[in-house]
Structure 1
Amino acid sequence: MKQGSGDVNVQTSRGGEQVGIAYDETHRVWLLRTPHSAYAVACPSSVTVHHQEIPDPLLHVYWGEPVTLADAVHIGTVKRQRWSRRGFESPLDGAEEYPVRGGIRFGRAALAARFGATRSIEWRLVGSNTTRDGDTHQLTVEFADGPLHLALHYRIRADTDVIERWAVVTNTGDTPIELDRFDSATWTVPEADEYRLSHLSGRWSAETQLRHQILTDGEFVIGSRRGTTSHQANPWYAIDDGSATEESGTVYSGALAWSGVWQLATQKLSHGGVQVLGGVGHDGFGPYRLAPGESLTAPVFAGLYTADGFGGASRAWHAYQLRHVMPNPDADRPVLYNSWEATGFDVNEENQKALAARAASIGCELFVMDDGWFGARVDDHAGLGDWTVNPERFPNGLAPLIDEVHRLGMDFGIWVEPEMVNPDSDLYREHPDWVYHFADRTRHTMRNQLVLNLARPDVADWLYDRIDALLSDHDIQFVKWDMNRPFTEAGWPAETDNPERLWLDHVHNLYAVLDRLRAKHPGVAFESCSGGGARIDMGILARTDQVWTSDNTDAPDRLIIQHGYSQVYPARAMSCWVTDVPNFLDPRTVPLRYRFHAAMAGVLGVGGDLSEWSDADLAEATDLIAEYKTVRTIVQHGQLYRLRPPSPGLSAVQYVAPDRSEAVVLAYLGAQRFGERPPLLRLAGLDPHARYRVDGVDDPLTGAALHGFGLPLRLNGDYDSTLLHLTRVGD
């Protein structure tokens, strides 16, 4: 589709900036303008590479602070003039917006395909289109090489600097096309003297730990081959020049909205420049066979430019997810109690009612019964897959327990792990081929369970029917959806034409099941859990109300985990529990107050054995929960400032209401040394001209004083902590 020069679907954002898509027909340059950034690509009719004409290359032009369309045209021309002329390199490497396999290229390809007798792609531009739907603007650029058709999509909105990108590939021929790699997008970082990569890594019980490293020539790859987002890595990255701080400096970041196997590859080219390619699949994934007439849509790989440091990037990501990703984002999440650590598998109507009474007495608003309520589930060896109420433990069904929980003024929630099956279950005995396996090979269990082949439509329908029946037959308001076993022996013997599709179809069908359940049961909230934090990403956040951050509830450890989590995901979705000490991982003991304050940094929950808590503990918990309820809207919906990162000394986070009328500070002292006082805590994000009343301070102080001088903290002794509530009292 031909476009004329000039602004296409341009609007004024809330801040008065021009937002939209502009196009220069002569130079075939598109400029995407967000409230505080610009992004440009060009598709000249041809470029010369080693004295040969390459038709219709899609080139990256610019990403950074706002510029004009004329600027973008000039920048694109200068960049091509500066191309490397060395005979052993390709100027296309690091310059293309979406590199493909074939031609004079040596870098990593975002798209690698085989069709007919060729493994090399030589595409031509076949059209482009820009559309506007309210505050949303979209650009689509389309290419083709024989039967291989590719559409690259860009989407921007008037209230965010996040740019959403994804790709769609279609087989227009009459024979299959094999895809060896199909990324969502490639993000190109502007030239810098140095590149520092930040990313999240870890393991079970130690998820989302923030890492930094200086990039050297070559590739750095993170991803998951486990069927889930994984404990080991998370699909987010940030790149700066090594000088950015929490609140200043240019940061380029990206996040992939996908809950299965994935890969982010950062390549630093020998002649300069850095690109990040990301999408579904892992090394060895594929080939994925694209049938005649079939299209495959890659998940969104979103990118963000900010000049306000890592904190500014985080706040932009949080706002974007709350506005455009998460369901019901404006609702406050309730304080929950979960029965797992109190009763384990040994659940029954009597002990759950007793725990519910204690949970209600301290102010909990949601009671969640965990594992052990169904089938022959007395331990982890049996029962998964048989989602019917155990008649011995609940002789009158779940209704008496649910009614009592509601009578106590709480909502009722329940735990399920519906993607799994125990070999010792009626489901497995009836359908042994419903699990991932290889024909004539041993089916190895982990955690005494196997993974159901949710890629199969009949399994997906069965799963939906089981959970739908559970929700239809019971007055349930919350589902904790667990997924504890990674994929191994991921085979699908019945799918002979395209067995590798299981890696994608499992996630697509999971999304479809959750979407159907949410549509039919709009009053039910869902939590994503996967052995802790192994399924946290923007794909699952689009379908769940919160995520279980980690099985590790040790408060000092959780500060580190929550610090990494907060780089990209909002507190509104971060489920945090107060549990007993010492926990199953760490022998240390920390005060109940410190544990509560660590959990108050997100969606507060309680998971300890309340039957063993003293009257003093219950009274203190009651006061702390009441205090959390007075500030939770600010925590769950406010802007986050990481004042001091987790350390053996002082750590602190701050949440500021959108209108800056209130703020909440949570501060934690690790170990006190040499009798020294903790340093003054400088606050952030407040109106410098307004006066704020601070808990424990006699006279109101201006935002400028709280930022420039700070607050003395009354913390004394190891693992002391405090919550401060600030309220604006005038200008």
Structure 2
Amino acid sequence: MSAAVAERSRIWACPELGLHAVVDAAGSVSLGRPDQDRACLVPLVEVTATGHGRLWSGERFIETAVGERLTYRGHETVHEDGRERTVIRLTDPVTGLAADVTLEAGAGEARTGAGFLRTWVRLTNEGDTPVRLESVTTLTLGGITDADGSLDGLSLHWADNDWLAECRWRQSAFRDQVVPLSRAAHGHEGRGCFERYSQGSWSTGRHLPLAALTDRDGGAWVWQIESSAGWRFETGEREGAAYVALFGPDDAHHQWHQRLAPGEEFTTVPAVLVRAEGGGLDAAFGALTDHRRRIRRGHPDHRALPVIYNDYMNTLMGDPTTEKLLPLIDAAAEAGAEVFVIDAGWYDDDAQGWWDSVGAWEAAPNRFPGGIREVLDAIRRHGMVPGLWLEPEVVGVRSPLARTLPPEAFFRRGGVRVTEHGRHHLDLRHPAARAHLDEVVDRLVGEWGVGYLKLDYNINSGPGTENGHESPGAGLLGHHRAHLDWMGSLLDRHPGLVLENCGSGGLRMDYAQLAVAQLQSTSDQQDFLRYPPIAAAAHTAVTPEQSAVWAYPQPHFSLDEIGFTLTGALLGRIHLSGFLDLMSAEQFALVRSAISVYRRIRPEIGGAHPLWPLALPDWEDPWITHGLRTRNGTLLTVWRRESPAGGPEPLPGRRHADGFDPAVHTVPLPHLRGSHFDPVVLYPTVSDCATEWDTDRGVLTVRLPRPNTAVLLRLGAVGSE
């Protein structure tokens, strides 16, 4: 053991992650693994403040002057709500900043073989002069290496996100992104890092707020930032090891700064770090799934998982009327739907269109001659819960509310009201904005009997709002915290209400929102052949029981196409759509069969853990798999798509079976090796799928004779895992 290690005192430990918080002889606290020299670690909190920048200038937001000065002054451990929390207290003698770092550790279920650490930081100005914050870490960790102590075996994983193209995971060797620069020759690390960050008010409009490092032995570190406003992470090299630093908003990327007068405080957004010693990303995402279930608000919907019909996607597309809805309601109920959602357009009576006139959320008389309650009553008579689409945070520029609400109730920058795509943005910190939305929801839910609200969000309002002297990024964070509080208050007043989080599909897919909302829209993707990579990867971002996937069978679809679009939704939450009322008896029977299968398996979904036997999918992959490990075995979805651009399917490669038969694929399932069972096709029953299970090798062979087909399989039996 080196002298540097021997001089440190351990003040906290997390056995599940193998992490310790230690204090060195100078009082500096860092988080790392045992027996690591401090040189490769990072101060527990890094802060940039105006007048107090970094010790080594560049793109990195570590090695800060304040972080270097923060010293230990105590810690305590408390038990609250069945959780153990440790608060480590630090202080900076120059600025007077005090940092309280909360560490909340836990273990995933036994079969995930991983643990997690959730942290946040509260800064208080205990000095006598104001401090202008520009960035604050929520979590830092150094000393990450491969088993041999080098960086050569590490891989970096991150997810790009876009409208219609959500959850696109990328993988790269760490050394391809962070190249060795010969520190010995220069005396310094590089000035750069690998970073990803949000831009504007779509928290996941560019990337997901999570990423991972994996090693050659199956170890994985996965992190998640829980912010609906700005966020950023960076990873790079420090003294021959990798480090990770997680942030909420900062000045350089989000126009965020926070002035702390003496006595004032600021709390960062939370973040979580997951460690799996083996099992790779599957094990780490399993533990992250457990964490997400642990932090979210409890709700009966997480257990019931009702089937939802929504009239929008590839169906009414924002043009609902009584005449169009009533036959869809009849057909949805007969198919087995339990919730019926009237999506966008129910308020539209404007000759110029509804996009820039929304805000009052009154039913359109011309669309519902007998009143919208006639339609809502029809939904209830069929035993379904009525739902409505709502975009609460916006007011159209032509809406009367744009003139009657006070100017301070809207986002403003430079004293000018923000306008984006024909809309203004409400600031839910203002009592008039909140009172308006409370009146709307209490009318829809309390008077009309609506039990489901799809809360959409279709503009990126930019960096935020300036309320007085605050920065835009601080205004955005303040609004989003008020927005989450408002959502929670709705559920307090209406405990049975279900809230769906939608941001033009999956553009606000974060666990600040999802700790409150019951469901997450995964995409607006209308091409059923493009949906599989989104549906397969969605459980990296969302728990299965919150992950809503569109299934929009149509009368002009073949039976294979109907089976394809329905299969993709069966391991999450079904958002059924399509003109079911116009289908043939054979087509409709295939829809009913899917809903019947879903009802049988849904009790298993809420406690399941995701897995990806062929790794996370690429956008153009012809073969894609995604599964759930449940208490009754493994549920596995397999898609076979035509090759890109309709050309011949590629020869077998990384994700193809040995041999040259494009209809056959092998799927490794090592967790089932040694288990004896016969694979069962759950859906579609008309599938020509053939399977063969190799018990000794733990390999499943799947044959799908036609492209653009999919199948849901059950593997194993109770107790086999």
Identify the match of residue 602 of structure 2 among 632, 652, 659.
632
Identify the match of residue 55 of structure 2 among 88, 105, 124.
105
Of 641-650 and 397-406, the range deviating more from structure 2 = 641-650
User: Matched residue of 1:318: which SS?
Assistant: helix
Q: Counterpart of 2:625? A: 652
Q: Counterpart of 1:462? A: 436
1:216 aligns with 2:186: no
1:592 aligns with 2:549: no
C-alpha displacement at 1:711, in angstroms? Answer: 3.9
Partners of 2:506 and 2:294 lie apart in 1 by: 23
Unaligned runs of 5+ in 1: 1-23, 47-55, 63-71, 84-92, 114-118, 698-702
Contact 1:168–1:296 (CA<8 Å) still a contact in 2? yes
User: Matched residue of 2:346: which SS?
Assistant: coil
2:210 maps to amino acid: W
Partners of 2:143 and 2:342 lie apart in 1 by: 47
Q: Counterpart of 1:205? A: 164
The CA deviation string for residues 193-229 of structure 1, in whole angstroms up to 9 with x for no partner, is 3232101103211111001123314212211121131
C-alpha displacement at 1:411, in angstroms? Answer: 1.2
Partners of 2:483 and 2:502 lie apart in 1 by: 13
Percent identity, aligned pairs only, is 21
1:560 aligns with 2:519: no
Q: Counterpart of 2:355? A: 381
Identify the match of residue 664 of structure 1 among 635, 641, 645.
635
Q: Counterpart of 2:123? A: 169
Contact 1:689–1:704 (CA<8 Å) still a contact in 2? no
Of 261-270 and 433-442, the range deviating more from structure 2 = 433-442
1:473 maps to amino acid: E
1:331 aligns with 2:306: no
Q: Kindly tell me: are residues 153 and 389 of structure 1, through their superposed partners in 2, closer, same or farther at Cα, counting changes over 3 Å?
A: same
- Give RMSD over aligned pairs: 3.3
Q: How many residues align?
A: 653
Of 249-258 and 121-130, the range deviating more from structure 2 = 121-130
Partners of 1:264 and 1:581 lie apart in 2 by: 42
Q: Kindly tell me: are residues 589 and 219 of structure 1, through their superposed partners in 2, closer, same or farther at Cα, counting changes over 3 Å?
A: farther
Q: Counterpart of 1:32? A: 13
Q: Counterpart of 2:283? A: 312
Q: Counterpart of 1:240? A: 214
Identify the match of residue 509 of structure 2 among 536, 540, 543.
536
User: Matched residue of 2:116: which SS?
Assistant: coil
1:723 aligns with 2:704: no
Partners of 2:519 and 2:499 lie apart in 1 by: 7
Q: Counterpart of 1:262? A: 231
Q: Counterpart of 2:485? A: 512
Contact 1:183–1:280 (CA<8 Å) still a contact in 2? no
Contact 2:53–2:64 (CA<8 Å) still a contact in 1? no
C-alpha displacement at 1:690, in angstroms? Answer: 5.9
Unaligned runs of 5+ in 2: 110-114, 180-191, 643-647, 650-659, 686-691
Of 633-642 and 98-107, the range deviating more from structure 2 = 98-107
Partners of 1:257 and 1:529 lie apart in 2 by: 16
User: Matched residue of 1:393: which SS?
Assistant: coil
1:278 aligns with 2:247: yes
The CA deviation string for residues 595-628 of structure 1, in whole angstroms up to 9 with x for no partner, is 1111223211212233443443222211222122
C-alpha displacement at 1:255, in angstroms? Answer: 0.3
Contact 2:342–2:388 (CA<8 Å) still a contact in 1? yes
Q: Kindly tell me: are residues 230 and 27 of structure 1, through their superposed partners in 2, closer, same or farther at Cα, counting changes over 3 Å?
A: closer
Partners of 2:471 and 2:622 lie apart in 1 by: 55
Q: Counterpart of 1:445? A: 420
Identify the match of residue 694 of structure 1 among 671, 677, 680.
680
C-alpha displacement at 1:38, in angstroms? Answer: 1.9
Contact 1:32–1:156 (CA<8 Å) still a contact in 2? no
1:193 maps to amino acid: L
The CA deviation string for residues 459-483 of structure 1, in whole angstroms up to 9 with x for no partner, is 2343233223322112122110001
Q: Kindly tell me: are residues 272 and 315 of structure 1, through their superposed partners in 2, closer, same or farther at Cα, counting changes over 3 Å?
A: closer
2:305 maps to amino acid: R
Partners of 2:368 and 2:105 lie apart in 1 by: 52
Partners of 2:528 and 2:132 lie apart in 1 by: 48
Partners of 2:676 and 2:469 lie apart in 1 by: 68
1:470 maps to amino acid: L
Q: Counterpart of 2:657? A: none
Q: Kindly tell me: are residues 581 and 554 of structure 1, through their superposed partners in 2, closer, same or farther at Cα, counting changes over 3 Å?
A: farther
2:139 maps to amino acid: A
Q: Kindly tell me: are residues 383 and 473 of structure 1, through their superposed partners in 2, closer, same or farther at Cα, counting changes over 3 Å?
A: farther
Q: Counterpart of 2:397? A: 423
Q: Counterpart of 1:181? A: 135
Of 418-427 and 635-644, the range deviating more from structure 2 = 635-644
User: Matched residue of 2:664: which SS?
Assistant: coil
Q: Counterpart of 1:411? A: 385
C-alpha displacement at 1:443, in angstroms? Answer: 5.1
The CA deviation string for residues 62-91 of structure 1, in whole angstroms up to 9 with x for no partner, is 1xxxxxxxxx4xx15xx14xx4xxxxxxxx
TM-score (norm 1): 0.82
The CA deviation string for residues 506-532 of structure 1, in whole angstroms up to 9 with x for no partner, is 111111001101111110111100011
The CA deviation string for residues 645-695 of structure 1, in whole angstroms up to 9 with x for no partner, is 44644322222323xx33322212223857544134444544845656634
Q: Counterpart of 2:69? A: 122
Partners of 1:627 and 1:104 lie apart in 2 by: 58
Q: Counterpart of 1:472? A: 446
Contact 1:43–1:58 (CA<8 Å) still a contact in 2? yes
Partners of 1:648 and 1:271 lie apart in 2 by: 36
Q: Counterpart of 1:41? A: 21
Contact 2:545–2:606 (CA<8 Å) still a contact in 1? yes
Q: Kindly tell me: are residues 354 and 25 of structure 1, through their superposed partners in 2, closer, same or farther at Cα, counting changes over 3 Å?
A: farther
Partners of 2:250 and 2:579 lie apart in 1 by: 41
The CA deviation string for residues 278-316 of structure 1, in whole angstroms up to 9 with x for no partner, is 223462523212244322211211001102111111111
User: Matched residue of 1:540: which SS?
Assistant: coil
1:613 aligns with 2:583: yes
The CA deviation string for residues 508-560 of structure 1, in whole angstroms up to 9 with x for no partner, is 11110011011111101111000110111111111011100011143332221
Q: Kindly tell me: are residues 635 and 716 of structure 1, through their superposed partners in 2, closer, same or farther at Cα, counting changes over 3 Å?
A: farther
1:604 aligns with 2:574: yes
2:79 maps to amino acid: R
Partners of 1:287 and 1:424 lie apart in 2 by: 33
1:487 aligns with 2:450: no
C-alpha displacement at 1:354, in angstroms? Answer: 2.0
Identify the match of residue 31 of structure 2 among 47, 60, 64.
60
TM-score (norm 2): 0.83
Contact 2:555–2:580 (CA<8 Å) still a contact in 1? no
Contact 2:104–2:117 (CA<8 Å) still a contact in 1? yes
Q: Kindly tell me: are residues 196 and 159 of structure 1, through their superposed partners in 2, closer, same or farther at Cα, counting changes over 3 Å?
A: closer
Of 302-311 and 681-690, the range deviating more from structure 2 = 681-690
Contact 1:185–1:279 (CA<8 Å) still a contact in 2? no
Q: Kindly tell me: are residues 212 and 412 of structure 1, through their superposed partners in 2, closer, same or farther at Cα, counting changes over 3 Å?
A: same
Contact 1:110–1:182 (CA<8 Å) still a contact in 2? no
Partners of 1:420 and 1:639 lie apart in 2 by: 36
C-alpha displacement at 1:97, in angstroms? Answer: 2.5
Partners of 1:578 and 1:141 lie apart in 2 by: 48
